[in-house]
Amino acid sequence: MVSLATLIWDITSDNEVDSSPVDTDLNIVSPTMLDVTAVAYNSVVFEVRPVFSAIILSQYSFVNCRTMRTTQFVNHRLSSLLPFSVRGFFRRRLLLTVTLILLVVVAVEEIYFAKIRFAYQSFSWKTIEGNITRSRIDYMRHIANRPLMNITILTVLANDKNHDEYALAQSSFECYAIYHHYAWKVIDLSESPTLQQLCPQKDFMFARHCVTAEVLKNDTSIEWILFIDADMGVINPNRLIEEWIDESVDLIFYNRIFNHEIMAGSYLAKNSLFAREFLQYWADYDYRVPHSFHGTDNGAIQNVFLEKIMPERREEWAPCEVLWGNSKDFKGLYAYEKCARKILGSTGRWTGQASILPKGTAWARDTWLTNSHWSPNDFVLHAWKNSTLNAVTFAGWLTPLASHYFNLSICETNSAGKNWKYKYSFMASELDIDKMINSWIEEVEVFFHLPATVLVLTFIAYLLLALLSFSRYGLT
């Protein structure tokens, strides 16, 4: 296997290439060149860590050039059998074919290597058994100085096919709710004809917010709802939902860390008229989204905030709607979201209405931002999907838990913490996690303002380097 680093080294090297057809000597890639290659590639692509960090910097070490020279030898022998007039055409076609094969093989091999790397990182020689030391009753009595609030944790599923996909996340939340005496409610929309009639939105992502509004409307005993995505799981049962409740507002959202979005997958909603109407208005945006790459409820939440919180500033945010309507890809969507957030502000608090918590201060965050490492400051981790566990893909994740089995029969007892069996290697200090989160916060401004073609151009650059290297070996 000839790595891209080898090709770059060959092109930039002043060494003459041995013209012998086949040679068994090894060319060693200089450590200095390895560092330069890694830094150059990192500066452009490493921001997309979930996908590329497992694929890119893996095997830039000892590379055997026998493959190149064997190809050169075969090329000359085959072309010598052809008429002179078609040899150039043959060589160009062979060059293109070999280059494409090389790139495909490198990609496949790197993905395979990444899977091995994931398996290695998932291994932990030590397991720590969890222990729940926080008491919700004591917290409310001594810190909040008020009686327990009636808080419901709600998640909405599209159908029964989702249960296995989110089993770990759901089990962790159910056990957490049982221990701390929160109401735990899972609604399968496909099994409720009544809710299907009340919430007929075609896009489930919008319909689930209608369901939340209906739950609040039909149960006046509920004071607050913590709505969560089905793939959100509790990593630290010693954090309490009340820590994030602000009674001066009716809705509490937070900023996603790796982009400019208001997080649509989790929020705190007070059982108030404003909150219920806001959620219903958001759900009904399913009928109003532009015919573009609109981002479903993730994109629409920005416009809902603008229309419900700042209707008097419509002239200011009207250009943002134009961007949204013209959006064709993630770049267009992010441009719209950035525009909307300039009007709303990166964070905000509108008394009696809603608030948006700053990045890194909310109850939940994406697990892959820190490669599944967590600290005692964490509460909920997002993207615990069975299909992306150990997967080399966007939002692929490693499990920080040694066991995915939750014994719900002990969740009411003092032994409930034993269900959280932590891999020691994934436990980190608050300082270390904060550094990782802050690095994402600092980089998001740079990364999401890069041209949309930057990754494509990077690929083309490597392709050209490969072509030039083949040329050096006599393929053209």
Tell me the per-residue pLDDT of 162-182, one tens digit each, with 9 for 90 and over: 788 999 999 999 999 999 999
Cα(318)–Cα(60) distance, rounded to whole angstroms?
A: 50
DSSP state of 140: I
Task: State the angle between helix axes of 66-80 and 84-122 in degrees (0 to 180), rounded to the nearest 10.
Answer: 160
Q: Domain limits of the chain? A: 4-122+449-472, 128-290+350-428
**Taking the CA of residue 235 as centre, how many other CA atoms within 13 Å lie in the half-sphere pointing to its CB?**
28
> What per-residue confidence (pLDDT) applies to 22?
34
User: Which residues touch 440 (CB under 8 Å, ≥6 apart)?
Assistant: 257, 258, 369
| Number of residues that this document lists for the chain | 476
- pLDDT tens readout for residues 296-314: 999 999 999 999 999 999 9
Fold classified for 128-290+350-428: Spore Coat Polysaccharide Biosynthesis Protein SpsA; Chain A (3.90.550)
Q: Which two tokens stand for residue 375?
A: 């600290």
Q: Phi and psi dihedrals of 392, rounded to 5? A: -85, 80
> What per-residue confidence (pLDDT) applies to 400?
96
Q: Is there a contact between 87 and 79 (Cβ–Cβ < 8 Å)?
A: yes
Q: Which two tokens stand for residue 51?
A: 């996908």
Task: State the angle between helix axes of 204-218 and 296-309 in degrees (0 to 180), rounded to the nearest 10.
Answer: 50
**Taking the CA of residue 421 as centre, how many other CA atoms within 13 Å lie in the half-sphere pointing to its CB?**
12
pTM, two decimal places: 0.73
Cα(124)–Cα(402) distance, rounded to whole angstroms?
A: 8
Kind and range of the H or E run holding 172: helix 167-180
DSSP state of 139: I
Give me the residue label for tokens 């709802």. Answer: 225
- Determine the 3-state secondary structure of 365 from DSSP: strand
CA 424 vs CA 130, 153, 172, 384: distances in Å: 11, 29, 18, 19
The parts of the chain modelled with pLDDT lower than 50 are 1-65, 452, 470, 473-476
- Determine the 3-state secondary structure of 155 from DSSP: strand
Cα(280)–Cα(212) distance, rounded to whole angstroms?
A: 9
